[in-house]
Amino acid sequence: MPRRFVWPKQDLVGAHQELTEPVVDLEGFFRGDEEAIKQASDIIKAACLQHGFFQVINHGVDLNLISLAHDHMHNFFKLPTCDKLRVRRMPGSIWGYSSGHADRYLSKLPWKETLSFGYNENCPNPIGIDFFKSTLGKDFEQTGLVYLKYCEAMKGLSLSIMELLAISLGVDRGYYKSFFEDGCSIMRCNFYPPCQEPGLILGTGPHRDPTSLTILHQDQVGGLEVFSDNVWQTVRPRQSALVINIGDTFMALSNGTYKSCLHRAVVNKYEERRSLAFFLCPKEDKVVRPPLDLVCNQGRRMYPDFTWSDLLHFTQKYYRADDATLQNFTKWIISLKSASL
């Protein structure tokens, strides 16, 4: 029986409004029903213009696989710290285990532990560093296999959503799908311990994902909030749904037509919380450039050419991603390019 969502109200930190919509049913899309595809792309367009996020149901991802990914995440995070530190994130790398990013920041540490790794099906070993088996040992070989299947499913769903996003923007249906086909994406497991003073900290602070598209599954505890209509709103967990966020890189790919979603994660006094986040990224050296039609619609380019490698490097070396990452990155890359002239 999934845990009841509503805590005693007086202890609910953060948002007091709840978002249960917009939800897009993908069943018709997978059936190739053009009318249903048009309907889905219309809901997506309205959702991206208003909130920068939507939820999908009948998404084709096996719910047992999602549940397995949560179970293996639970098993990892309950390991003794000494074992988790065997796969700790090394300076300059995004892969591995991190606790509050204390290895990277001195203040405003997020109240969470994370495990991140890359996924690129074009590599002989698609799950980046094969630390599940080679470092954590044979007991975690199955975990590596579960996450390999999970990331495969996430990548497939991401490309379907890219097709629907192209339709919603009125551009060539395959433009974005082909842009991401050979990309190396990021998988991140988030673990948020309970906190006795939940109003004093955040699990993940307000930010827009610098990546292109995020597919997130949160457990039934709840804590994801999006900033929409000038207020923080709780995204009510739906066991069978996946939350889709527009990220900064897609905002540039849409020439600013869609805004990346400002969101955060709050924690609570009572229960630990977990979420699975798959971040779709293009191949690192591919130039991020919107389709010409969208440049004509806006009358000009809203962002300079850049590569995902440039933006990732910026967030890992110079700037902790927040609600203004893309604006600050744009200033940084322009100054870099003019200095090199």
Ligand X SMILES: O=C(O)CCC(=O)C(=O)O
Ligand Y SMILES: C=C1C[C@]23C[C@H]1CC[C@H]2[C@]1(C)CCC[C@@](C)(C(=O)O)[C@H]1[C@@H]3C(=O)O
Interacting residue ranges for Fe ion, rule: CB under 5 A: 209
Nearest Cα to 204, choosing from 271, 246, 267, 247? 267
**Tokens standing for 302?**
């809203």
In angstroms, the CA 9 to CA 212 distance is: 35
Site string for ligand Y, 150-189 (x = CB under 6 A): ------------------------------------x-x-
Choose between 277 and 294: whose C-beta lies nearer to ligand X.
277
Nearest Cα to 120, choosing from 112, 128, 130, 110? 128
Site string for ligand Y, 58-97 (x = CB under 6 A): ------------------------------------x---
Choose between 253 and 277: whose C-beta lies nearer to ligand X.
277
**Tokens standing for 48?**
């991206």
**Site membership for ligand Y, residue 110 (CB under 6 A):** yes
**Site membership for ligand Y, residue 210 (CB under 6 A):** yes
Quick one: which segment of 135-143, 232-240, 312-320, 329-337 binds ligand Y (CB under 6 A)? 312-320
Quick one: which segment of 17-25, 27-35, 206-214, 248-256 binds ligand Y (CB under 6 A)? 206-214
Site string for ligand X, 221-250 (x = CB under 6 A): --xx--------------------------
3-state secondary structure 178-217: HHHCCCCEEEEEEEECCCCCHHHCCCEEEECCCCCEEEEE
H or E element at residue 236:
none
What amino acid is encoded at 218 in this protein?
Answer: Q
**Tokens standing for 272?**
């630990």
Quick one: which segment of 15-23, 71-79, 80-88, 216-224 binds ligand X (CB under 6 A)? 216-224
Q: Are strands 231-235 and 17-19 parallel, antiparallel or unpaired?
A: parallel
Q: Say which entry of ligand X, Fe ion, ligand Y, none residue 190 contacts (CB below 5 to 8 A, set by partner kind).
A: ligand X
Quick one: which segment of 32-40, 47-55, 70-78, 208-216 binds ligand Y (CB under 6 A)? 208-216
Choose between 154 and 321: whose C-beta lies nearer to ligand Y.
321
> If DSSP codes are grouped into helix, strand and coil, which group holds residue 61?
coil
In angstroms, the CA 132 to CA 146 distance is: 11
Place of tokens 């870099």: 336
Query: Under 8 Å CB-to-CB from 247, ≥6 apart: which residues?
Result: 208, 209, 210, 211, 212, 213, 214, 260, 261, 279, 280
Reply yes or no on whether 3 is catalytic.
no
In angstroms, the CA 278 to CA 244 distance is: 10
Residues forming the site for ligand Y (CB under 6 A): 94, 101, 110, 186, 188, 204, 207, 209-211, 279, 312, 315, 320-321
Residues carrying an active site annotation: 273
Q: Binding residues for ligand X, per CB under 6 A?
A: 188, 190, 204, 209, 216, 218, 223-224, 263, 265, 275, 277
